[in-house]
Amino acid sequence: MAQPTAHSGWPRWWLRRSLLTWVLWPFSGLFAALSALRRALYRLGLLKTVRVDAPVVVVGNLTVGGSGKTPLIAALARGLLQAGWQPGIVSRGYGRKSTGEASVSVHQDSDPALCGDEPVLLARLTGCPVQVGRKRAQAALDLLAAHPEVDVLLSDDGLQHLALARDVELVVVDQRLWGNGLLLPAGPLRESPARKRDATLGPVEALEKIGSGERYFALVRSLGDFTKLIGGERLAPAESALRFSGRPLGALAGIGHPGQFFSMLRAAGLQVDGVAAGDHQPLSDASFAAFPHSSPVLITEKDAIKSAHLSPALRERLWVVGLRLELPDDLLPWLHHRLEIARGHPTS
């Protein structure tokens, strides 16, 4: 994939239609045809779909790159735990070193180079069992074999990975929505926005652009606590604004949509110089070279997972910014009802 723009996380031609867009358009047609053929093979049973002994909720997006799936999965897992469910999480583990066909169990202290940064973060945020594997269906089977208490599975991404049968599909969107509206490689879409799904989730301003005709749940994101990487000093968002007000700050984000992180920091009144690192890519001291040596640097929780090998002097300057995700009041009751139907115990 081409080098992404600093803030959007996407190549520029995915945000608008240009001459290059139309040069690539025939390849988008080929991508669409191959995708349709693959879906047909699954419908006809020529490619195998695996159904596991627990309801499966897939949380994914129709575009390339992140759109806020990880914090949503963490919030859903915590909500389901509070409601009496025992969730487990399966993921591809993007960015991890290949381990062949075998799936890997992820723990809070696992090496992100071996498991992927997001699965380790999810293990830390939720305390739930997490399993990663190139084949999500096998990862699901392995997780349930190791944790028979699990009674619902959350799949981190996987809308297009049809080998794992699912009961609920949730599509997550952000402010970029569908970009220029074209399929890969001319645009960011992996599937048509007309794809049937159970619900679409995202910020209100993005949902308003989609129109009516399906179920929506509006998500509200805000900054959480600022925690000093070394020493663990913790500041509430209001305290952070006072501490760092008027002070030049670095901000690094190796996430799917880094501009969203920078915008939230600036909206809180912070003066940040934002640098986008590659999503799922390892960090080094060189990743922070653009920042003055004396300035504090704000990073995401996901990037903190990959910071253990950075120099002590750099780690002393890092502050980890949490993300708060407020779920709408009707989301978890709706999901609970769907899960009860999936396991054969429908509620009124």
Query: What pLDDT score does 212 carry?
Result: 62
Q: Quick: pLDDT tens for 125-152.
A: 999 999 999 999 999 999 999 999 999 9
What pLDDT was estimated at residue 6?
47
Q: How far apart are CA 122 and CA 110, in angstroms?
A: 11
**Residue % of the chain over a pLDDT of 90:** 82
Whole-structure pTM value: 0.93
Residues 6+ apart with CB under 8 A from 311: 285
CATH fold for the domain made of 40-219+327-342? Rossmann fold (3.40.50)
> What is the structure's pLDDT at 99?
65
Q: Helices 117-126 and 69-82 sit at what angle, rounded to 10 degrees? A: 30
User: Can you give the pLDDT at residue 183?
Assistant: 97
Dump pLDDT digits (tens) for 307-344. Answer: 999 999 999 999 999 999 999 999 999 999 999 999 88
pLDDT at 3: 42
User: How high is the pLDDT of residue 280?
Assistant: 81
Question: What are the extents of the domains in the chain?
Answer: 40-219+327-342, 221-326
The ranges of the chain with pLDDT < 70 are 1-7, 98-99, 212-213, 346-348
Q: Crossing angle, helix 331-342 and helix 69-82, to 10 degrees? A: 70
